[in-house]
Amino acid sequence: MKTQDIRRGITSRHYRAEGSSPDLGNLSRLRNPEAPAVVERRSRRRARSHQPEKNSAVNWLVLVGTGTLAVITATVFLWLLPRMESAEEQTAFNSKMEDRNIRIASKFPSPSREESLELVKRALATRDPAEVSRLFRTCESTPAEIIHFLEETSRLEGEVENWEWMSSLDKDGLLIEGVIVSSKGEEKPEVRLALLTPDDAGVWKLDFDAYARLVEPGWQELLGPGSEQAVVRVTVSRGVYYNGPFSDDKQWVSYGIASLDVNEKLCGYCRVGSAEAEAMAKLFKHEEKVSRATVEIRRVPGTNPKQFEIVRVLGGEWVVASNR
């Protein structure tokens, strides 16, 4: 980013089976004690001449075989069951540990109110190029450009009169702490948002692009004849205005676009069913009335100067994850 780009951003401001019972065989009839003995012997011979012994042996073998099979089956099942349960438990445990590792790896202790305010104050007061990278997420700006911006805003917006801690503003998977910086201003109070995020080592820094509300190439060029497309850091709300190429509300979703650096409210449009429309809708999933966003917009032929198509949603905050 060139120095003049930052400068333009300053000066253009007024834009988570059972088995069956065993067969008992045939039972002999009870002997009649009053009957002759020969009858008893004949009855016993007759009984021995039949086949119940053979049938009983067969049934016994079947019973033993069935019992053996049941024992084997039960043994195998009891051997497998704990292993199956162990595998399932291990899988669940591994999954939980993976989730836990992801959360631990992506989070760092947040600074307290006092630490947040102190960090912002030190960052905005620095004029030492060697200190810039330690205090700021510089993104694509050089230390010299950042210091120049700080000097210009101090001159144009005056002395800081109030620091208001906003606590956690996490968005898009990023850890964010916020501080509102209010300055005296020449004609009216000036307000900027200092957003703090941790780097890969867990060191919290002030995001320069968010603080500067960086617009590339610049509001003056975008609203004038100089540029047709730009990345802007703005506040958005649901819109109701349809006109020109964006007249059909069955094809387009309307949004209002505002910036502290532009006096007039703009209109942005996403094509119905597009990735951009889905991303914009997520900004209002909790019934928010207004949301900050970083979007890329472009002018469409045949529209008035205040109408733009939203061609890309970079994030639901002024801090952009791709800049990390």
CA distance 308 to 295: 11
pLDDT at 73 over 90: no
pTM over 0.85: no
Listed range (161-165, 171-175, 250-254, 293-297) with the worst mean pLDDT: 171-175
Contact indicator for 303, 297 with CB cutoff of 8 Å: no
CA distance 211 to 180: 10
Domain 110-211 CATH assignment equals 3.10.450: yes
pLDDT tens figures, 82-96: 444 444 444 343 433
pLDDT tens figures, 229-247: 999 999 999 999 999 999 9
Contact indicator for 244, 299 with CB cutoff of 8 Å: no
| Closest C-alpha to 52, from 73, 29, 85, 77 | 29
Domain boundaries, the chain: 38-105, 110-211, 219-319
Q: What pLDDT sits at residue 224? A: 86
CA distance 148 to 138: 13
The topology (CATH level 3) of 219-319 is OB fold (Dihydrolipoamide Acetyltransferase, E2P) (2.40.50)
Token pair for residue 154?
Answer: 């101090």
State the greatest distance between any 2 C-alpha atoms of the chain, in Å, as a whole number.
Answer: 138
Write down the residue that tokens 């597009």 correspond to: 274
Listed range (72-81, 180-189, 216-225) with the worst mean pLDDT: 72-81
Collapse the DSSP code of 272 into the 3-class scheme (helix H, G, I; strand E, B; otherwise coil) and give the result. Answer: coil
pLDDT tens figures, 32-45: 444 444 444 444 44
Task: Measure CA 150 to chain center.
Answer: 34
| Closest C-alpha to 318, from 150, 110, 171, 157 | 171
Token pair for residue 276?
Answer: 């951009």
Residues 6+ apart with CB under 8 A from 122: 135
Collapse the DSSP code of 4 into the 3-class scheme (helix H, G, I; strand E, B; otherwise coil) and give the result. Answer: helix
